[in-house]
Structure 1
């Protein structure tokens, strides 16, 4: 089956050595599971408020031209807008208009639990976006391949002498989970693996089916 590890995530993006991306803080500084959150797209913007043009689970890249080099800037408000919009992470392109990530931006991301990483000058933003797009395409291909393979396996199982039982067993194998079939009265008539549900889970499921 297609596992969670196959999903395009920030962790997978950061692991691409050719991109040379670097987290601004230790992983413990961010929300639990933040690096394993699926990333649907990578977009770049230097707008002060890009949120009207963003979607959830998106990685935003910026060079920071919207941040003044002298004077104060409300980094906390900027980061809060991104978090409220559902942005998964922020990538800062260094050595374009600034040497390194602005400390106040790093502090704001740390306070909000938003993953912040450095995109070195040698790595074009388009390369980061393309790497994530390739991962999304690879996942889609893997899902289609698995679906066709699972459909073929279920069709063959249905042709066996005990077609119903074999189909349920094959479905449990393909989904890597317990599978059961209930009759019109809400009683469990087939399951695989047999007896895998705890009494509490079985009672809860029977009530929901009923």
Structure 2
């Protein structure tokens, strides 16, 4: 399918000026495809271990309350390295940290843990609600699905019209190759290539 709307990825979210996100990870510390892997959904949680409630290829958002000790319950802060390891093991694509809610800035230990695990970490400013990221990603997924449907209908119509031409079989093969952007071949019952689109050069 030809390129249509941008993929719902972390890079596309970071590129939206209205969200004002800031990548806290250095690109050199990340795997080559870390920012361009498709995101299925965006979820938020401040649990020390949210993994039982997560899905693969997800972007997780947190305000970091799990990294702050609670003197009322004598709860110790969550260790950053095991936390990130759990997220990575569950297939979480990236972690967004909402600042100025519980603390200013991202905890250095969390920055180091994400760096060591190769997990993208970015800052979500206070003025950007988490729901805005979830909505932006959902809209990108919906737009891509709509674009795919429109392309499929358009391609189907073009191929059907090609089949009505006097050279219907050859025209259909050529149109199919054009629509999918790939080589198309037709073989007979004996396995002999009878048509090739696009035709090989001289």
Unpaired segments of 5 or more residues in structure 1?
197-210
| Closer, same or farther: CA 167–183 of 1 in aligned 2, 3 Å | same
Answer yes or no: is 1:165 the counterpart of 2:170. Answer: yes
Which residues in structure 2 correspond to 1:41-190 (within 5 Å)?
41-69=41-69, 73-190=78-195
Q: Which residue of 1 aligns with 2:32?
A: 32
Provide the secondary structure at the position in 2 that maps to 1:118: strand
Q: Could you give the per-residue CA deviations for residues 82-104 of structure 1, whole angstroms, max 9, x where no partner exists?
A: 11111111000001111100111
Native 8 Å contact 1:2 1:142 kept in 2: no
Q: Could you give the per-residue CA deviations for residues 25-54 of structure 1, whole angstroms, max 9, x where no partner exists?
A: 222221111111111110001111111111
Native 8 Å contact 1:180 1:191 kept in 2: yes
Aligned length: 196
RMSD: 1.7
Q: Could you give the per-residue CA deviations for residues 117-161 of structure 1, whole angstroms, max 9, x where no partner exists?
A: 000001000011111111111101100100000000000010111
More displaced 10-residue stretch of structure 1: 118-127 or 183-192: 183-192
Provide the secondary structure at the position in 2 that maps to 1:18: coil
TM-score (normalised: structure 2) = 0.91
Native 8 Å contact 1:94 1:121 kept in 2: yes
Q: Which residue of 2 aligns with 1:202?
A: none
Provide the secondary structure at the position in 2 that maps to 1:169: helix
Unpaired segments of 5 or more residues in structure 2?
71-75
Q: Which has the higher helix share?
A: 1
Q: Which residue of 2 aligns with 1:16?
A: 16
Native 8 Å contact 2:58 2:93 kept in 1: yes
Q: Distance in 1 between matches of 2:115 and 2:4?
A: 26
